[in-house]
Amino acid sequence: MSKLRVGILGCGQISSIYLKNLTGIFSDRIEVVGIADVIRESAEKRAAEYGGLRVISPDEMIEGRVCDSIVNLTPAPAHDVTNLRIVEAGLHLYSEKPLALSMDVVKRIDEVARSRGIRVAVAPDTLLGAGVRTCAEVVRSGRIGAPVGSLGFISVKRFDERYMNVFRGPWLDLAPYHVGAIISYLGPIGAVSAISRPARADGEGASLPESARTMENPALTGVVLEHRGGAISTLLASSETWAYVPTLVVHGSLGTLTATDPNMFGGVPRVRSGKESEEAVELLPDFRENSRGVGVWDLAGAIHESRPAVLTNEAALHATEVLLAGIESGKAGRRVSIESPG
């Protein structure tokens, strides 16, 4: 098959594993034709690490007709401008989360993509990993009965300016993994209600940067998500706990699934159903290890075969609307309805 010509925009920390996999295990469908960064030396460093890739400017990558698709690995505050430019240039887009920071931009990206037949996929592609697929299969198979709801805690201990300001805090940075997973377990979401607060000013919080004290990137968010099928999920996202300790449990009428960390590709799902102890569930085959980039690889196959990708435009729109509604609801103190069908 002809390979998808991919440009990598943003050559920071996460670009390393993407480049390793896109130029390695996923190179049967993908050709990395150029890499770019606003700091050219960052792109040059990565280019040298991965066999002398071609370094180009961000403008040339977006406007220069050198690629069919861009993988956007820039940080969240750059996503509104870069993602809109990419689809307006007629290029397929795979973006790190979140797709954009405002619903106006998300809707504009969706309109442009629809009118021009452009694919838009948004991370995380851990949803294609063995862990999440196995958990989804446990729920789909009826092993835990009729799904009732899920409960998740996303905790991280990172108060630094970069994490709160650039990565936009625990809800926008880490909840995308949980939100993506629970949508695949329990279906699309119709409404979101959140309570949020900035970091506490006492104790450890006293040394926090100002960005941790805003409602734009709250230090603690508790969210109730109403699934259209009737289940309810509750997620908490915090940057005030002692460590990264993510949990996700799905309860059904016949059993309980302790799901894998949806930020990872593998893990050990466990099911309890009428027995004293939990039983480990064997993972489905494929993508059990760190397979970042598998979403781009699937997108390449989908474009080539004119089939839907696993990470669809509709899924990108829905997950982003839910995430942004979590921030909006926390600020406004009201329930926010979700328009996108999912």
- We find the least distance from the C-beta atom of residue 235 to ligand NAD, in angstroms, to be 17
- We find the least distance from the C-beta atom of residue 233 to ligand NAD, in angstroms, to be 22
Binding mask of the shown chain, residues 49 to 88, with x at each position contacting ligand NAD by CB under 6 A: ---------x--------------xxxx-x---x------
**Closer to ligand NAD by Cβ: residue 35 or 225:** 35
> What is the radius of gyration, based on Cα positions, of the chain?
20
Could you say whether residue 125 binds ligand NAD (CB under 6 A)? no
- We find the least distance from the C-beta atom of residue 211 to ligand NAD, in angstroms, to be 15
**Closer to ligand NAD by Cβ: residue 74 or 313:** 74
**Closer to ligand NAD by Cβ: residue 37 or 226:** 37
Could you say whether residue 37 binds ligand NAD (CB under 6 A)? yes
Distances (CA, A) of 323 to 85, 217, 221, 270: 22, 12, 11, 27
Q: What is the DSSP letter of 164?
A: I
Beta bridge partners, 55, equal 35
- The closest residue (CB) to ligand NAD is 12
**Closer to ligand NAD by Cβ: residue 41 or 210:** 41
Is residue 253 within 8 A of residue 103, CB to CB? The reply is no
Could you say whether residue 295 binds ligand NAD (CB under 6 A)? no
Could you say whether residue 9 binds ligand NAD (CB under 6 A)? yes
Segment near ligand NAD (CB under 6 A); pick from 11-19, 131-139, 253-261, 295-303? 11-19
- We find the least distance from the C-beta atom of residue 228 to ligand NAD, in angstroms, to be 27
Q: Where are the beta strands (DSSP E) in the chain?
A: 4-9, 30-36, 69-72, 92-95, 120-122, 147-155, 189-197, 220-227, 232-238, 247-252, 256-258, 270-272, 279-280, 336-337
Distances (CA, A) of 149 to 220, 255, 299: 21, 11, 31
- We find the least distance from the C-beta atom of residue 286 to ligand NAD, in angstroms, to be 20
Could you say whether residue 48 binds ligand NAD (CB under 6 A)? no
- For residue 238, the SS3 value is strand
Segment near ligand NAD (CB under 6 A); pick from 32-40, 225-233, 312-320, 334-342? 32-40
Binding mask of the shown chain, residues 169 to 188, with x at each position contacting ligand NAD by CB under 6 A: ----x---------------
Q: CA 18 to CA 140: how far, in whole Å?
A: 30
Segment near ligand NAD (CB under 6 A); pick from 35-43, 228-236, 251-259, 281-289? 35-43
Among 42, 241, 273, 290, binds ligand NAD (CB under 6 A): 42
For residue 71, which of 128, 133, 12, 1 has the smallest C-alpha distance?
Answer: 12
- Residues 6 or more apart in contact with residue 240 via CB below 8 angstroms: 157, 159, 199, 200, 204, 205, 219, 220
Q: CA 73 to CA 17: how far, in whole Å?
A: 11
Q: What are phi and psi of 7, to 5 degrees?
A: -110, 140
- Residues contributing to the site for ligand NAD (CB under 6 A): 9-15, 36-39, 42, 58, 73-76, 78, 82, 96-97, 167, 173
